Structure 1
Amino acid sequence: MKPTVVIFGANGFLGRYLARHYSRQGYEVASIARHKRGWSGDGVFLEWDGRTLGPWALALEGAELVINLAGRSVNCRYDEKNRREILDSRIASTRVIGQAIRGCRVPPKVWMNSSTATYYRHAEDAPQDEWRGEPGEGFSVDVARRWELAFFDEMVPGETRKIALRTGMVLANEPETVFEVLRGLVRAGLGGTMGKGTQRVSWIHIGDFLRAVDFLRHEPFMDGAVNLTAPEFPTNAELMRHFREAAGMPIGLPAARWMLEIGAKVLRTETELILKSRWADPRRLREAGFRWQHGHIAEAIADLRAHEGMEEFFRPVGSRSMGSRAWLPGRV
């Protein structure tokens, strides 16, 4: 029997990459989601409603790793209905996974639950790590705190190690991701400073995200909350400058806060996703000996330019087609 990895929210951006990652390593992958739309086709697909036990629970029996990424997107306006759905979808899915693990004869070895670097207070003066970091205020922070509380409150057998992944912005050359949005702004000449521009950005390259998940799975003494971010924390102004330089774009119009407020309403999202300073230091990963392959933002952008889409990212290095996108100026 192949070892099993179970991924909840497998039809989302990170779920697709994780499913392909573990399928290529020879694992049996159980991809669990509310519907097949967006699923990568890796492993076996199992449907659930995110609230109640079902046949999917059998996949957790003896699993090497369970990863929960399920939850309504936060890229929306925070009205009462959306706030309720964002919070309920995360807590309900976490609780029913805990219930399923308690019913296993052979419980999973590791249960990782998604969280967010937004957990920490707005900080422009010092990084926030897992030991000294202070929780912030506001709806996003409240969601992160209550999500982690639900996760760690779930009583599971002692054999199951639990890790909350406080993840920064994951960069991959994929449609509808942060990388694609910023690249589009730069190409349109709108890639200037956003707000004050001093807000810090916590990010991680998709390759390092996958490697960090593997690293944590194999570290028997790593549990609790872990920051999944790169060791470099550019300001918003620095981040946008690197994107402009990669694109060969000499100008980038800045956007004041009032401009972002208007744009956010049009796009039905929140300026908090842009303006809040996220300075999450991956102290635990660093002290445990993890090494980043893409620790600097300029190098990470350059690498992602050459790997457009999931198929190109996972193609063996010797067979990758670099193409004109990898070296022509004026492209990111």
Structure 2
Amino acid sequence: MNPQIVIFGANGFLGRYLARYYQRQGREVVCVARHRDGWSGDGMFLEWDGRTIGPWALALEGAEQVINLAGRSVNCRYDEKNRREIFDSRTDSTRVIGEAIAACKVPPKLWVNSSTATLYRHAEDRPQDEWTGEPGEGFSVEVARAWEEAFFAAPVPGATRKVALRTGIVLAYEDGSAFEVLRHLTRRGLGGRMGHGRQRVSWIHMDDFIAAIEFIAADPWRDGVYNLTAPEHPTNRELMKAFREQQGAPFGLPATRWMLEIGARAMKTETELILKSRWADPRRLREEGFRWRWPKLETALADLEGRHGLEGFFYQPDRRSAGVRVWTPGKKAAAGGR
């Protein structure tokens, strides 16, 4: 049997990409989610409620990796009901996974739990790394701290290594993702700075997000907290300029705070997702020798422009020794080169 990867929240944005990646690597993949909507179709699918032990727990026996990405989307209005669902969906799922691992006869070798770079304080003066970073205040920080506390407090066997991922904005050309929304606004002349534009943006290309998880998993001594971001941290003003240049937009109207408040209400989201400065420095990845494929924002955006959706992201041309490149369905075949 191939090493088993168990992904919780596998029908979400990150889960779909990880499931497809591991499936293409020839790994045995088990996808766990509350429902099949959004599932990529890769691996075996198991349902759970995110709160109680069920048949899914059997998949954890002897697993190579358990990756927990479960949690209600934060892209919503923070009313009392949504706040409770955001909070509980993260802490309850983490707690019950810990209980299931503790009951395993052969526990998983690695438990990776999602967290967020939003945990750090609103920073415009200096980067926040894993060793010296300071937690901030507010609802999002409370959620992040409770999430990590539930994770590290879970009494699992010593054979199971724990890693929490404080991830920045993951960029992939997926409908509804940050990349697609900012691209859409830019193409309509709305790609100017947001607020004062000085807020820092911690981001990472999907290729590097996946590669960083593999990098961490490869060394049995890597545990604790990792910031998963690119080494470059543009301001919002610089981010939107890069999008305008990529899309060939001659101008981009800026949006003041009050304009963003109106837009956020109309889109049923929160301005915090845009206005908070996130400057999470990936110090551990850098010092331990991780090499980013896409360290620069401009080249990352250019690459993603041609990789729309899950199929486009993982699309690879076949090569033949005769010098003829044959494209898989969805692209025109070209003989004798591109």
Q: TM-score range by the shorter chain?
A: over 0.9
Shift of 1:322: 10
**Alignment deviations for residues 253-289 of structure 1 (CA, whole Å, 9 cap, x no partner):** 0000011011111111110000000000000001110
SS in 2 for 1:263: helix
Q: Structure 1: how far apart are the matches of 2:308 and 2:172?
A: 8
SS in 2 for 1:32: strand
Q: Structure 2: how far apart are the matches of 1:71 and 1:80?
A: 16
**Alignment deviations for residues 265-324 of structure 1 (CA, whole Å, 9 cap, x no partner):** 111111000000000000000111000000000000000011111112112245479989
Shift of 1:204: 0.2
Partner of 1:220: 220
Check the 8 A contact 1:11/1:38 in 2, yes or no: yes
Partner of 2:194: 194
**Alignment deviations for residues 180-234 of structure 1 (CA, whole Å, 9 cap, x no partner):** 0000000110010000000000000000000001001112111111000000000
Check the 8 A contact 1:312/1:320 in 2, yes or no: no
* Structure 2 gaps, min length 5: 319-326, 333-338
Shift of 1:12: 0.4
Check the 8 A contact 1:66/1:108 in 2, yes or no: yes
Q: Structure 1: how far apart are the matches of 2:187 and 2:314?
A: 26
Check the 8 A contact 1:200/1:236 in 2, yes or no: yes
Q: Structure 1: how far apart are the matches of 2:286 and 2:23?
A: 27
Partner of 1:11: 11
SS in 2 for 1:111: strand
The 5-angstrom pairing of residues 288-327 of structure 1 reads 288-318=288-318, 319=327
Partner of 1:329: none
RMSD, matched Cα: 1.3
The 5-angstrom pairing of residues 127-276 of structure 1 reads 127-276=127-276
The 5-angstrom pairing of residues 12-31 of structure 1 reads 12-31=12-31
8-17 or 215-224, which deviates more: 215-224
The 5-angstrom pairing of residues 6-155 of structure 1 reads 6-155=6-155
Partner of 1:285: 285
Check the 8 A contact 1:7/1:15 in 2, yes or no: yes
Q: Structure 2: how far apart are the matches of 1:323 and 1:168?
A: 32
Check the 8 A contact 1:120/1:134 in 2, yes or no: yes
Partner of 1:2: 2
Q: Structure 2: how far apart are the matches of 1:249 and 1:322?
A: 28
Count, aligned residues: 324
Q: Structure 1: how far apart are the matches of 2:34 and 2:291?
A: 35
Q: Structure 2: how far apart are the matches of 1:132 and 1:297?
A: 25
**Alignment deviations for residues 24-54 of structure 1 (CA, whole Å, 9 cap, x no partner):** 1111100000000000000000000000001
SS in 2 for 1:207: helix
Partner of 1:330: none
Q: AA paired with 1:309?
A: G
Q: Structure 2: how far apart are the matches of 1:139 and 1:280?
A: 18
Identity of aligned residues (%): 70
Q: AA paired with 1:241?
A: K
Q: AA paired with 1:15?
A: G
Check the 8 A contact 1:120/1:278 in 2, yes or no: yes
**Alignment deviations for residues 120-176 of structure 1 (CA, whole Å, 9 cap, x no partner):** 000001000000100000000110011000000001000000000000000001101
Q: Structure 2: how far apart are the matches of 1:158 and 1:11?
A: 30
Shift of 1:2: 1.3
Check the 8 A contact 1:95/1:151 in 2, yes or no: yes
305-314 or 109-118, which deviates more: 305-314
Partner of 2:323: none
